[in-house]
Amino acid sequence: MKFLDLTKVYIRSGGGGSGCVSFRREKFIEFGGPDGGDGGNGGDVWAEAVDGLNTLIDFRFQQHFFAKSGQPGMGSQRTGKSGDDIVLRVPAGTEVLDEDEETVIADLTEVGQRVLLAKGGNGGWGNLHFKTATNRSPRRANPGQEGVERTLWLRLKLIADAGLAGLPNAGKSTFLAATSNARPKIADYPFTTLHPNLGVVGVDGREFVMADIPGLIEGASEGRGLGDQFLAHVERCAVLLHVVDGTSEDVARDYDIIEGELQAYSPIVAAKPRIIALTKIDAMDADDRAEKTAALAEASGQRVHQVSAVAGEGVQDLLRVLIRSIDKAREVPVEEAPWQP
Residue 81, annotated as binding a ligand:
no
Residue 115, annotated as binding a ligand:
no
**Residue 214: CB partners within 8 Å, gap ≥ 6?**
168, 191, 193, 194, 195, 196, 226, 230
Q: What is the pLDDT of residue 187?
A: 59
Q: Are 144 and 124 in contact (CB under 8 A)?
A: yes
Euclidean distance between the first and the last CA atom of the chain, given in angstroms as a whole number:
37
Residue 217, annotated as binding a ligand:
no
Nearest to 42 by CA among 126, 120, 118: 120
pTM: 0.74
Q: What is d(CA 231, CA 248) in angstroms, rounded to the nearest whole number? A: 23
Q: What is the pLDDT of residue 219?
A: 66
Instruction: Express each pLDDT in 13-60 by its tens digit.
Output: 999 999 999 998 888 887 788 999 999 999 999 999 998 887 888 888
The pLDDT of residue 333 is above 70: no
**Residue 157: CB partners within 8 Å, gap ≥ 6?**
5, 93, 94, 95, 232, 233, 235, 236
Output Rg (C-alpha) for the chain, integer angstroms.
29
Q: What is the pLDDT of residue 225?
A: 54
Residue 171, annotated as binding a ligand:
yes
The count of C-alpha atoms lying within 13 angstroms of the C-alpha of 96, restricted to the half-sphere facing its C-beta, is 27
Residue 281, annotated as binding a ligand:
yes
Residue 191, annotated as binding a ligand:
yes
Q: Domain coordinates of the chain in residue numbers?
A: 1-156, 162-331
Q: Domain 1-156 adopts which CATH fold?
A: Spo0b-associated Gtp-binding Protein; Chain: A, (2.70.210)
Residue 127, annotated as binding a ligand:
no
Beta pairing partners, 242: 165, 276
Residue 21, annotated as binding a ligand:
no
Q: What is d(CA 85, CA 63) in angstroms, rounded to the nearest whole number? A: 16
Q: What is d(CA 119, CA 148) in angstroms, rounded to the nearest whole number? A: 7
User: DSSP assignment, residue 154?
Assistant: E
Instruction: Express each pLDDT in 144-201 by its tens digit.
Output: 999 999 999 998 888 788 888 888 877 778 888 888 876 766 655 556 666 677 788 8
Q: Domain 162-331 adopts which CATH fold?
A: Rossmann fold (3.40.50)
